[in-house]
Structure 1
């Protein structure tokens, strides 16, 4: 049987190569199998609509004969009727399909397409188009389709990651500008706009090399700025090293005197200040942030006190009823009574497994709870310097209990930033706007129901 053109048509190398494909002997190819091969081929090669239409009609004319070649012989009139194409368009499509190695023309002596029958009328041969190359390369088509699907998945994942990084960067810039305007820089938004202009729309091609890395870098930069702004310029909430035994307190800025009272360790503080520890941020780095947030945090303290009915006309916080008769200023409150008052007024702080039986243990408990409020160590240093270590510890414990009660209450939280709340609370105690002893005893009475 003829494998390539026999005349009347220019010989093409692709036709000779395609003619080398053969079928398995003794096997009849069904139209369904040939159609499956056609679908794989059109997806693997990305055939344009005209070629798909013509090839589909050729496949539909396969009669499932037990031949060595898959020959079809539809007339041009039949194909024009089925496809709606002109005869010239059909010829262009035949040449393109031949060049792609999908079909091989088998021309008759007169250039017509027809079947050859024997004396009994059985079709034994035909002149037309050989579809054997289409079916014989089905495994190659399937492999190419798998590669294309994998490539599309890689492109989709790349654009998905870029979209995630872009949206996260946009949200981080907005949050930084609204929450910490002093940390926002116009260069961040300019770089965002430049990357946005470089980012193409989703398509069939991979995004530019390095675009995802650029988005990820900008996202990390903005989120790191937001993180440092929330931590007062430090790298973590609890920035004081503790490499001693787990039974030792995290707070080492005080020592016990002969009476067991916690007092400032002047020598240790001086040596630490002279050595310039890298774990503690310089004071000037946090002062700007503190000044900007102080008025907001003091407003939160006043809102909390107002909700409890604890303010007087003019904005001064009013001591609890009878507090003046029951408690003197904090410095006058007997030190041996403070631990018992703490245990009864602030039961939530006892759940951390830290004892509060002596004033020194109360100081250690306050130092332990300070980082849990998200307060920088400069808050504790300021509190000790302004109101003393014992009162500073009582303030931390008191604010911790207030925060726990606020969370347990449900609904909108009045204390949105407990670390900043603590700083404002300490400053109001130091200025005399809040009587710490009266507040502690009032909380104790509310807790005990007396």
Structure 2
């Protein structure tokens, strides 16, 4: 007569449908099935949230697995372990008895182990004459063997979800960074666009992002950010394509040079309307001032274009913008610019741009009768966003370069004419000197 195996818990613990389901699953073990208990434990640990297991419950499960020496769980073997509560607490690195009992119940509810209670609720084993265990009462590990494939699938799904969450977080971080920096670039470079609306959209999207969020919410927020990124990207790319800008920003100077400004003025003393007309036609002949660079003019470029301002410097050469502005304020009374006109220019253009404009006017002062009226006309254009100091400086630089090139060419021609005339004393050599070997090479190639 065989021994009856108990399937109901001892004492006041009741039988649940979950317990019945776990016992039914444990009976469906394939014959000859074998698994590595630690591999299955790792799968259970990865899928613990899906199973409903706690960290303490897994600690107890780990302790139960250590009570069985073989690493493999084999179908048909006696997989019941029967450690005492004291031994379990020791192997689980310490916990109170109520915590132990509560987490053992969690293992039961998750279907990870099955209770095999003795008649008196104690855990022990009855051995035969050969010392082999004939009957054991304790915790049956058969569900771990029976559900090993299920645990593996759950672990893979958790790992896939973890990878997907990592990817969406990376996508969200990169998209946030791109949107913020692209909006800032559009504002700083003065690109036409509805930048306040872009910023409001970004802030509204980020406001919905909690500290911890499920992947579905992160995916939705990332999709909205990508839509915003596309709108911002299209705005910037459209502006770049319309300006035919190069990546190295060398096209900025091309736009300025192509405008060919010449701000010669003839009579601003009595006719304010004529001042405005000359400023509009001579300072910026381009149709759109927005094509000009939005960054500040380099001080070195301004000093090269406007060397006259250096004669009014106080205490030596101009090295900083503060010294440049001081020189501009020093020359202002000599140019006949009233304090009110200067103050208005500072308020509209800014202190540095006003000083640059005044220095540029100083370079052409012999062509401008009313410097104060001309400055006021430029201030009016700057107030309407139709004036930039860049064309003035570039026009002066181009004029200086042309003068230097023409002067050098004239010296060379005069030197050549003097060399061909007989009886003429040798003149002082020009700044453009070449070696005799190079001269012979040029003559051999037909250069005159």
| In 2, Cα distance between equivalents of 1:76 and 1:126 | 16
Residues 58-97 of structure 1: pairs in structure 2 closer than 5 A: 58-64=64-70, 67-83=76-92, 84-97=94-107
Do 2:169 and 2:218's aligned partners in 1 also have CA atoms closer than 8 Å?
no
Give me the TM-score of the superposition, normalised by structure 1: 0.53
| In 1, Cα distance between equivalents of 2:405 and 2:231 | 43
1:99 matched to 2:109:
yes
| Paired position in structure 1 for 2:40 | 37
Q: 1:102 to 1:189 in 2, by over 3 A?
A: same
Deviations 1:101-131 (A, max 9, x none): 1111111111111101113332222011111
| In 2, Cα distance between equivalents of 1:184 and 1:69 | 74
| Paired position in structure 2 for 1:412 | none
Q: 1:168 to 1:73 in 2, by over 3 A?
A: same
Unaligned runs of 5+ in 1: 239-282, 316-419
Q: CA deviation at 1:54?
A: 1.4
| In 1, Cα distance between equivalents of 2:288 and 2:200 | 28
SS of equivalent to 1:90: helix
Do 1:74 and 1:128's aligned partners in 2 also have CA atoms closer than 8 Å?
yes
| In 2, Cα distance between equivalents of 1:216 and 1:159 | 13
Deviations 1:218-252 (A, max 9, x none): 22333333344445xx27559xxxxxxxxxxxxxx
| Paired position in structure 2 for 1:13 | 17
Q: CA deviation at 1:39?
A: 2.2
Do 1:106 and 1:127's aligned partners in 2 also have CA atoms closer than 8 Å?
yes
Of 206, 224, 229, which residue of structure 1 is paired with 2:216?
206
Q: CA deviation at 1:150?
A: 0.9
1:56 matched to 2:62:
yes
Q: 1:443 to 1:25 in 2, by over 3 A?
A: farther
| In 2, Cα distance between equivalents of 1:180 and 1:140 | 59
Q: CA deviation at 1:14?
A: 2.4
Deviations 1:385-410 (A, max 9, x none): xxxxxxxxxxxxxxxxxxxxxxxxxx
Q: CA deviation at 1:294?
A: 9.2
Query: What's the Cα RMSD here?
Result: 4.2
Of 164, 178, 182, which residue of structure 2 is paired with 1:168?
178
Q: 1:294 to 1:63 in 2, by over 3 A?
A: closer
| In 2, Cα distance between equivalents of 1:170 and 1:124 | 72
Q: 1:26 to 1:426 in 2, by over 3 A?
A: closer
| Paired position in structure 2 for 1:439 | 405
| In 2, Cα distance between equivalents of 1:180 and 1:89 | 65
Residues 206-245 of structure 1: pairs in structure 2 closer than 5 A: 206-208=216-218, 210-230=220-240, 234=242
1:191 matched to 2:201:
yes
SS of equivalent to 1:42: helix
SS of equivalent to 2:119: coil
Deviations 1:151-208 (A, max 9, x none): 1111111121111111111111222222227657333322222222122335554334
Do 2:40 and 2:144's aligned partners in 1 also have CA atoms closer than 8 Å?
yes
Give me the TM-score of the superposition, normalised by structure 2: 0.53
Residues 404-423 of structure 1: pairs in structure 2 closer than 5 A: none
Larger Rg belongs to: 2
| In 1, Cα distance between equivalents of 2:404 and 2:286 | 35
Name which of structure 1's ranges 121-130 and 11-20 shifts more when overlaid on structure 2: 11-20
SS of equivalent to 1:207: helix
Deviations 1:263-292 (A, max 9, x none): xxxxxxxxxxxxxxxxxxxx99952414x6
